[in-house]
Each structure stands twice: as structure tokens, then as C-alpha cells.
Amino acid sequence: MSSITARLAGACLLTLLAASVSASFAQTAPAAASARPSLESFFGESPFSGAILSPNAKYLAVKTTPKGKRVSLFVIDLLTDKGQFVAGFNDTDIATVKWVNDERLMFDTGNTKVGVGDVEDGPGLFAVNRDGKQLRQLAEFGGDKDGGVTAKQDRNLLPYHTFMLPQRGAQNSEYVYVGSPVPGYEGARLVNLLRLNTLTGHSSQVKRPPDVQSWLLDNKGEPRIAIGIKDAVTNVYYRETADGDWVKINTSDTFGTKGTSFEPLAFGPNNTLYVKTNNGGADKEAVYAYDYKTGKLADKPFIETAGYDFSGSLITNEDKVLGMNFATDAYSTMWFDSKMKAVQEKIDGLLKNTINIVGTGARPETPWMMVVSYSDIQPAIYNLYNSETGALRKVGESRPGIDPAQMGHQQQITYKARDGMDIPALLTLPKGQNKNLPLVLLIHGGPYVRGSMWGWAPEQQFLASRGYAVLEPSYRGTTGFGAKHFKAGWKQWGLAMQDDMADAVKWAVGKGIVDGNRVCIAGASYGGYATLMGLVKHPDIYKCGINWVGVSDITLLSKGDWTFKSDMGSAWRDYGMPDMIGDVVKDAEQLKATSPLVQYKKITRPLFMAYGGSDRRVPAYHGEKLMAVLKPINPNVEMVVYPEEGHGWALPKNSYDFYGRMERFLDKNIGKPQ
């Protein structure tokens, strides 16, 4: 892996970014108002990959793609408006970037030009000064390939599976904490924690309790919480001091099927621990202050989001909790700090048509703040805001080829399922249309995850730009809406969950939004399973189906890993699946009745399927087995396999191919009134 030696220094902020991405902007410029937006504008690589402020807010690290190069790292001095190339490679891309301190950054790599099946190396780990000096390789790339990076290396690099923690850390020295999974450990993975000097590459292992999978740093960046999973039990450990013993402070059920939920969320100032919990059985999870000495929660929630389980993060400085980022029907921010609340109001006054997420440095010494803005029709835009002057300066756009004027608006709706349960859903309509439309019922994967939230998304807007209404039900089993909604989906694959989807179509047809003769069901992973079962169970509702990387048989998902070692984990298959999906022995008859592979003769509608040849979650044989029995009796079935892809599409060329096929399939089957 050879380094890029050319450096771009001395350019002003706007000039630097313009030079870096002008060619890509031209290739993906917004289409004329009369033309459909291109596949590339939705699914192509963005020339701008994000930006983060330094702890003191004097510098901005930017990931962007210069013409003819790979994703590279630049740093802008916000006081002088000068830009500096910091790091980049000829044959791989800068991936995750974090500030170690005000002078130094750490990053890993990822090759956006290959699918998961062709990945030869691990991501590696590097550190570099903001002026491009002191570049040091800290971890191996993995595999047999020589990295060949022009960076200082220790003789004994850390293993290739060393990774950065999701937390920002102390950001006040050359040290960071990194995770290092133990190779060959059976069951849930075991992760060591290392204290790493990013200048010398030397590291030391932190003493840990047994069976640890994740770690939580306190507000000063020191490890205080270790979380371990053994079988289906999650243990939470705490230590008072850096050399103290780990003490177990909580035990809970890993998959939420038996006990009270308990998730350490963050440390605030004064070492206050905040946890997300349903506090003994409440329907919605909220955030509580937790006394780890007495093992008791505060009497009242510190934060709760009405109608939703709390999902988000706390925003803190060295003195107090400033606010929170959180998800309800959309992702947004609430400030407790009066100064930040006033800043938010000023920014919202300048950017009136978007949700504006404001970020600051950990210890800001300048008035610069990062603002990420989005809406249902506007992909994310990055701006710098000066809280003293009130000036806004654009840094970059996530999708410069998208014209918001061509996008369709979204709305959150709620409909009644046949048993009376309220089901939330997200409806995206083509621009200027709301009557008698063809519908794509888009089913999210998981299924035990949160579904789509309000905000621009490429898949939905692509379909809307082609004239289709898109309805995404948060069927029972979807998380985020409380325990009752979640648990109502247990062991309901192909049953009540499937009925929720059919009832969504009934609602849309009843409102006059959708033409009931032009409905197609589509989805990936579990959504692919629901697509297949929709065609099995409700051929009167769905005129066609699109399944990608979808489960064709639950028993096959549980046991069929003779070709690939499944990445689901044995604990989930042994303890989670039997309670939440079904036991392959005790529930064998139900699983046969809800198996598309067993019930294949009922699939008579047109079907398009796609799989990744290197998928370890739902291997391609799920589709191949179904195709083998279905093709002789249903001539309107087609399937494509992308050999290098995993559980979804990483390469733009495959996205173009897949969504192009999807567009032609939909146009053929529901595109015109019948």
C-alpha cells in the first residue's frame, strides 16, 4: 500500500474543498427539473465523507475525495482558513477518523472499491499529526499483504483486529483506549482493552473481568464500565479507580425476554452514571441516574421521550450535561444549557427548513460549531457556524447530485391493525402526487430493530422519484415503541407481523392514496422473508415481490451454516431465536407453516430476488434453494447473485445494477394502471 506524497497546503477552506470535489460535483450535479434523478445521484459514492471538529474547535478534519484519488484526510485551520493534506493512500480509503488531541488524529481504512468477499486486509490503525507529520502505523492490516505504508512502525504492531472505541475518549494526551478481540474465543466475543500511545505505538492491557464484550469510558476518558455476556446473561462491572477491582453492579437478560433492561449509557460530570432502563417493567425505556454503590436508580427519569423508548446520547462537557441527541419520529437535539439553547434557536432561524444537529468541540476555545442539517427532501449538509458573528459557511454535502425540489415529502402516520394495535408507519409520496398511486410496501430488516425515521433516504426517494408511493410499517416486533409493541412480535414471523403489513396496504387503499391493483411488497433480510411470506399468504394483495438477502426458511437460518460460518453468534441462535422467533424442535410445525421454502407452491406472483455471494448472515443458498423449486412452476421469477457482496451492497456498480433491475421489474408489474 503506497502512500500519496503530494500535499495540498496553503489553500483557503473553500478553495481546498472546491478543488477536492469539483470534478465529482460536476459528474453528479442536480438533474434538470424535467429529468428523473439518476441512479448515481442516489447510490453513487459521495465526494464528501464528513467532518469533525478538534477538541478546541480550532481545526476541522475533513474526509474528501480529490480527483482521481481515494478518500483522503485534510485538516482546516479555522483561524487562518488554511488547509493541509494529512493522509491518504493510493489503494485504499480513509475510513473512521477521531481526534486524539488538538494536534493529533487517529484513523483506520476501508476499501470502497471491493466487496466484502474480496477484502484481503483488516482496516489497520494509524495516527498522524494535523500537519501530516508523525504518521505512524499502529496495527497490522491483516492477511498476507505487506502494507507498504510510508509510516513509522513498531517491530511488533498490534493485531489487525484492533479497533477504536465508539466513544471520543479524553482527547487531552497522546494516549487512547482501543479494543482488541481475543482470536478463537468461542461464544460471544471477548474483547481486551488496551491503553495505546499513538506517538510510540506502545500499549498496555487494562485488567478486566471475565467475558467482556464492550467498555464504557467516564467523562474524563477513563474506563469505568465493562459489559460482559455469558450465554444469555449480561453482567455489568464497575471500578472506582484506575487500579481498583472490578465489581459486578448489575445482571440482566441479554435478549430482553425475561428481566428488566439495563444499559449503561454515559458518565456525566462528577462521575454520575446514566443508564437506559425500563425500571422494573415500564413499557418505555428512559434514562435514569444510577447509584452504583447502592445499586439503585433515581426516583424519577433524568430523560424520557414520550411515546418512544429513549434512543440517543448525552452531550456533556467537563462541568455538566448540556443536552441530548435523541430519536423519536426523527433524529434531533434538545439542549438543557441555556447558551446552547439560544445558539440552536439562532441556527434554526437561519436554516428554517431543516433539522439542524449542532456539535461543539470537547473543550472549545473558539466560537466555531459544526452543524449537520437534513430534512425529508434534503440529504445532510455540513456547515460551520460562528456563534459570535452568526456566520454560516458550507463545508460539504453528502449528496450534491440531489435536487430537493425533485424529492417527495414524508409523513408519519398511524393505522390500526386488525386486532386493534396501533402501528406506526412512514409514508413517502412522489412530489406533487397523493392519489391512486402504485405502492411499494417496503419492509425493514431485523426485524427487532427500529424502522425508518423521517429524513432523506436514498432507497425511498429513488422509488418516489419513479412515481411510487413508499409505505414502511413499523410492524409489531419493531423496537423503539415500547415493550408491548416489541413483544407482540415474538414468534409472529409470517403470522401477526405479516398481517400488520397487509393492514398497512388496506389503510393506504382506504385513504385513496394507493391503487389496490398496483401493490408490490419488498424488503431486505427479514424484509426479504416478509416479502416471500407476503406472496405466500396474501397473493390477492401483492401483485409482485422483491426480496434481497432475505431468509427463505427459519430453520435454515438457525442451522444452515455448512458453507459459511454464520456471523449471528451462537448465543443469539441458542437463546434469542428460540424465544423470539421459534424453537426449531418445539415449534417445528409452525416454522414449516411460515416457511417460504416449504410453502413455495403458493408463490405464484412475479418475484425478483438478489443475494450476496459472500453473505455470512443469510447466505445465497437461501435464494438458490427457493429458486430451484420455484422456477419450474413460476416463470416470472428471476434472481441475481453478486459474488463479492455480503449482507447488502457495498459497491456502487452493484447498487446501480440492482436498483436498475428493481425499477424495470416494478414498471413491468405495477407501473401502469391495470
* Alpha-carbon dihedral angle through residues 594, 600, 604, 606, given to the nearest 10 degrees: 90
d(CA 132, CA 116): 30
* Residue at grid coordinates 462491572: 237
DSSP one-letter string for 97-116 = EEEEETTEEEEEEE-TTS-G
For the chain, give the mean pLDDT.
89
Cell matching residue 448: 427487532
The band of 231, judged by pLDDT with boundaries at 50, 70 and 90, is confident
Report the share of the chain in percent with pLDDT over 70: 90
d(CA 212, CA 192): 8
d(CA 228, CA 236): 6
According to the model, what pLDDT value does residue 185 have?
A: 53
d(CA 13, CA 407): 30
The band of 28, judged by pLDDT with boundaries at 50, 70 and 90, is very low
Picking from 18-32, 52-66, 77-91, 158-172, which range would have the lowest pLDDT averaged per residue?
Answer: 18-32
Peptide bond into 447 cis (omega under 30): yes
**pLDDT at residue 360 is higher than 50:** yes
**pLDDT at residue 9 is higher than 60:** no
| CATH class of the structural domain 408-670 | alpha beta
According to the model, what pLDDT value does residue 377 have?
A: 98
Cell matching residue 296: 439503585
The band of 114, judged by pLDDT with boundaries at 50, 70 and 90, is confident
Q: How far is CA 573 from the centre of its chain?
A: 23
β-strands 514-524, 437-443 pairing: parallel
The band of 252, judged by pLDDT with boundaries at 50, 70 and 90, is confident
Which of 490, 427, 476, 479 lies closest to 308 in space, CA to CA? 479
Neighbouring CB atoms inside 10 A of 298's CB total 15
- Which residues are 331's β-sheet partners? 327
pLDDT in tens, 162-216: 999 999 899 999 999 999 988 765 445 789 999 999 999 999 999 999 889 999 9
Cell matching residue 569: 453468534
DSSP one-letter string for 428-471 = E--TT--SSEEEEEEEPSSSSS----SS--HHHHHHHHTT-EEE
Q: How many CA atoms lie within 13 A of 306 on its CB side?
A: 0
d(CA 134, CA 452): 42
Residue 32's Cβ-count burial label (10 Å; 0-12, 13-18, 19+) is exposed
d(CA 396, CA 390): 19
According to the model, what pLDDT value does residue 674 have?
A: 56
- One-letter amino acid at 62 equals V
The band of 21, judged by pLDDT with boundaries at 50, 70 and 90, is very low
Distances from the Cα of 545 to the Cα of 176, 310, 549, 665, angstroms: 49, 34, 13, 9
d(CA 138, CA 396): 30
**pLDDT at residue 19 is higher than 50:** no
* Residue at grid coordinates 427487532: 448
Mean pLDDT of 641-661: 96
d(CA 277, CA 270): 21
d(CA 584, CA 596): 15
- Cβ-contact 473, 552 below 8 angstroms: no
According to the model, what pLDDT value does residue 568 have?
A: 66
d(CA 372, CA 369): 10
Mean pLDDT of 327-336: 95
- Cβ-contact 47, 64 below 8 angstroms: yes
* Residue at grid coordinates 460460518: 565
Domain segments of the chain as ranges: 408-670
Residue 420's Cβ-count burial label (10 Å; 0-12, 13-18, 19+) is exposed
